[in-house]
Structure 1
């Protein structure tokens, strides 16, 4: 099995792709691309059994309705409700709120933060994948599943904060050390140097690990009463099993 991880940013400059090949009892990082453009991302996903995207796959339904109502005339603000309370459902998707409840982490708001730019790019990529015949299901059932590296790392008992940007290279190195200790079956090979130098590359590897968990069914799925909204907003798949299950399951 080949899984791919995509740490998707609005532009290629901060986008990384990682390819993980899975054999019995082991996984090998067969490639890492930093500064990955749209064509690289699409080709990577097309050749993989499952791809994990670190990017929202959609916008909050209530935000979309809000903007549509505003364009048509005037929105109706709920009476007797604090502004930040009614705006929460505009800023956060259902899956974002579920992730917060389950992990204590709050994903960036796709409608009120700069990650919206990455989601615009993502929407184009998903459309291209669909044109090429890949099944795109924002709930995670198709070629792409939405993942959240910080939450995955936290669930696997690994460092999940403080390793971003060049100023924190030492912390990034410690994360890579901890990951290899926790997963001795993971071979980064010649690409380990890139992972230690680029948090984008490391996040892409984590995305590829989470994609493997999704392919094995070892992640959260939207319950029946949230499946409809997840189909439009997207759904963050959180790992539900220890890291070692990625090579022992099935």
Structure 2
């Protein structure tokens, strides 16, 4: 099977994609490039088993309801004076699950700079759906991923690699040591050059975890909201098992 990893940014210039083929206990990177457009992502998605996209798939239900009510001129009677008061509008259920599980605090899609990425993601998911890709926000072919949180779950360095050469180099070495079955081929230098390329490969690995059923599923109660808000797929098994499972 093949998996696609996408480190989505607000603009193509900072967007990376990685296509990984899984066969005979080896994961071979078949494509890895920066500057990926929506059209290139959609083309690369054809025939893949899972697509891991590093971007929020939705907004908090409370935020959506509040904005709709405010727009209509009758916002809900609730205090918004403190961060705690505003938390239902700024945190998705999956964000809270990730924070409890890993200690990492995901950026708020409704109150932080990742909002532009989420808007682009919404458009990309719509186009992927039109192309025949299952874009269910929990169980679809396209799954929401969070590379830093996945690295933590796999026991690998997860801090300091974003925007820092030394941190990135350390994370690259750790992944290469932990995954000798990952064949980067001619893309080794690209993988090590930017955190965007690095994250796209990690996203493809998380997509593989989702494909073999080794990511954390929402509880029944969580699923009720996750179908709208999106669900971050956290690995719940070791990195080493990824190439050994048959799909």
TM-score > 0.5, shorter chain as reference: yes
Q: Does 1:134 align with 2:128?
A: no
Partner SS, residue 235 of structure 2: coil
Partner SS, residue 48 of structure 1: coil
Q: Matched residues in 2 for 1:21 and 1:52: separation?
A: 14
Which residue pairs with 1:161 in the alignment? 159
Which residue pairs with 1:216 in the alignment? 212
Kindly indicate whether the alpha-carbon contact (under 8 Å) linking 1:28 and 1:189 is maintained by their aligned counterparts in 2: yes
**Structure 2 residue ranges without an equivalent (≥5):** none
Aligned residues: 246
Question: How far apart are residue 171 of structure 1 and its match?
Answer: 2.0
Which residue pairs with 1:122 in the alignment? 121
Kindly indicate whether the alpha-carbon contact (under 8 Å) linking 1:6 and 1:54 is maintained by their aligned counterparts in 2: yes
Question: How far apart are residue 49 of structure 1 and its match?
Answer: 1.0
Q: Matched residues in 2 for 1:130 and 1:76: separation?
A: 33
Partner SS, residue 46 of structure 1: coil
Kindly indicate whether the alpha-carbon contact (under 8 Å) linking 1:46 and 1:129 is maintained by their aligned counterparts in 2: no
**Correspondence 1:17-166 to 2 at 5 A:** 17-78=17-78, 83-139=82-138, 141-165=139-163
Partner SS, residue 6 of structure 2: strand
TM-score in terms of structure 2 length: 0.96
TM-align CA RMSD: 1.3
Kindly indicate whether the alpha-carbon contact (under 8 Å) linking 1:169 and 1:196 is maintained by their aligned counterparts in 2: no
Q: Matched residues in 2 for 1:199 and 1:2: separation?
A: 22
Kindly indicate whether the alpha-carbon contact (under 8 Å) linking 1:172 and 1:196 is maintained by their aligned counterparts in 2: yes
Q: Matched residues in 1 for 2:167 and 2:222: separation?
A: 37
Q: Matched residues in 2 for 1:41 and 1:119: separation?
A: 16
Instruction: Give deviations 1:209-230, integer Å, cap 9, x for gaps.
Output: 0000000000011111111211
Partner SS, residue 19 of structure 1: strand
TM-score in terms of structure 1 length: 0.95
